[in-house]
């Protein structure tokens, strides 16, 4: 190893570990369901994005296995050479139906999708108004585009209007885009899309909503854009196939012309191998399930409400989430980490989230209830929360 690299790694790893910021990864010894096995111990799992429990659905597993038998384990090439299988085409038609748009394009992950889509449309002569709490993949996608990035105070529509006016009236930029998460994953708040769309219309902003945490959750499962009835207004509807859908992948849904453009100009589509057949088949099955019934979505919200009510009754600060995402705000970073560690020792897997992911002094344990949890599992988690909360003086 080059001496300079050795020194760089040594110094930086030591600093991270010293500050307690090196994230040790606990491998899960089996399926990522409502309970998981970690270190030989069964735990109630409140840390996955598998909102509807579909990651372990028997029907979807069968579809994936059948697709592997028919097509093999890999697509064999990038989409534009001969990696586009007939099921990729079916998947994209299905996603457009799901999102109520003319067309859709699938990518290998949600992260890839943001890197692909933003930089395919925006360039150095453009500006992007980006909510300050947007996901890392949006931030990286914006950077890759080389457009001027203008941070908008979180969910502040006055700030958006002011900056949209300045950017468009400056005459400096060819195009201006507004990008926001549909549901913000740290606090569970929902983007104010109706007001944002009004402002976008006034200043001719391109609108881009990454609904990674809203799809399968909001709008009877169809997402935050559908929840507000804005399918015709939002230019880019982004989703991931890795959270509520339970598999892996990402997509843009929008007008046919937009999708046509992304198919010839977005680099992960052009230069990275297509989604595997098993994944594609499982995603088609998951979307079919969501189109056929609201049952899982209803169960998710019921469980979210139950956990929130239980934590609130115990005296925890659960913030202002408008979705099943349930933060439990502890405060000081070290205490939040200790809280999460004690939860795990007592049988609950709920990760702490601290600065810089959330503001200093708002360290929290984030709970992600799912449709697959039973009331008994949630009661078990609440009993552990009560025990650890009292022990660490977080509740009285």
By CB under 6 A, name the binding residues for ligand PMP: 109-111, 114, 135, 137, 181, 185, 210, 212-213, 240, 242, 250
φ, ψ dihedrals at 128, nearest 5° = -125, 125
φ, ψ dihedrals at 218, nearest 5° = -85, 165
Please give the Cα distance from 22 to 337 (Å, whole number). 12
139/392 with CB nearer ligand PMP = 139
**Which residue minimizes CB distance to ligand PMP?**
110
51/173 with CB nearer ligand PMP = 51
139/270 with CB nearer ligand PMP = 139
Please give the Cα distance from 49 to 379 (Å, whole number). 20
Residues annotated as catalytic are 185, 213, 243
50/240 with CB nearer ligand PMP = 240
**Token pair for residue 8?**
């760089």
**Token pair for residue 150?**
């203008």
3-state class (DSSP) for residue 243: coil
Please give the Cα distance from 71 to 64 (Å, whole number). 10
Please give the Cα distance from 396 to 381 (Å, whole number). 18
**Token pair for residue 193?**
């899309």
308/366 with CB nearer ligand PMP = 366
In 315-374, which residue ranges form alpha helices assigned H by DSSP? 333-345
Smallest gap, in angstroms, from Cβ of residue 184 to ligand PMP?
8
Please give the Cα distance from 85 to 276 (Å, whole number). 10
Smallest gap, in angstroms, from Cβ of residue 246 to ligand PMP?
11
Query: What is the distance between the terminal CA atoms of the chain, rounded to a whole angstrom?
Result: 54
């Amino acid at each position: 190893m080059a001496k300079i690299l050795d020194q760089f790694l040594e110094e930086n790893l030591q600093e991270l570990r010293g500050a307690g910021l090196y994230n040790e990864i606990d491998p899960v010894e089996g399926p990522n369901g409502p309970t998981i096995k970690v270190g030989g111990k069964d735990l109630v799992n409140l840390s996955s994005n598998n909102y509807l429990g579909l990651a372990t659905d028997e029907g979807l597993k069968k579809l994936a296995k059948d697709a592997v038998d028919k097509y093999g384990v890999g697509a064999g090439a990038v989409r534009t050479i001969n990696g586009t299988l007939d099921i990729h085409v079916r998947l994209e038609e299905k996603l457009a139906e799901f999102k109520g748009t003319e067309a859709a394009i699938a990518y290998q992950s949600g992260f890839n999708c943001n890197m692909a889509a933003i930089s395919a449309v925006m360039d150095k002569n453009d500006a992007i108004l980006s909510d300050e709490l947007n996901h890392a993949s949006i931030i990286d996608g914006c950077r890759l585009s080389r457009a001027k990035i203008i941070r908008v105070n979180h969910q502040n529509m006055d700030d958006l209007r002011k900056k949209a006016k300045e950017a468009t009236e400056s005459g400096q930029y060819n195009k201006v885009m507004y990008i926001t998460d549909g549901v913000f994953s740290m606090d569970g708040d929902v983007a104010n899309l109706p007001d944002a769309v009004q402002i976008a219309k006034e200043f001719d902003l391109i609108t881009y909503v990454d609904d990674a945490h809203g799809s399968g959750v909001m709008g009877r499962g169809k997402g935050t854009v559908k929840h507000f009835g804005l399918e015709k207004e939002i230019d880019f509807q982004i989703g991931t196939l890795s959270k509520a859908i339970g598999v892996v992948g990402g997509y843009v849904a929008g007008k046919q012309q937009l999708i046509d453009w992304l198919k010839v100009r977005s680099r992960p589509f052009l230069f990275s191998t297509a989604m595997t057949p098993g994944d594609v088949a499982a995603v088609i099955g998951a979307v079919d399930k969501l189109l056929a019934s609201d049952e899982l979505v209803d169960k998710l919200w019921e469980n979210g409400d139950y956990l929130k009510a239980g934590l609130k009754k115990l005296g925890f600060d659960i913030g202002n989430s408008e979705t099943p995402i349930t933060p439990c705000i502890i405060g000081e970073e070290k205490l939040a980490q200790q809280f999460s560690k004690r939860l795990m020792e007592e049988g609950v897997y709920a990760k702490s989230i601290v600065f810089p992911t959330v503001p200093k002094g708002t360290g929290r344990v984030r709970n992600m209830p799912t449709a697959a949890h039973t009331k008994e599992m949630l009661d078990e988690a609440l009993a552990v929360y009560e025990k650890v909360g009292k022990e660490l003086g977080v509740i009285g």
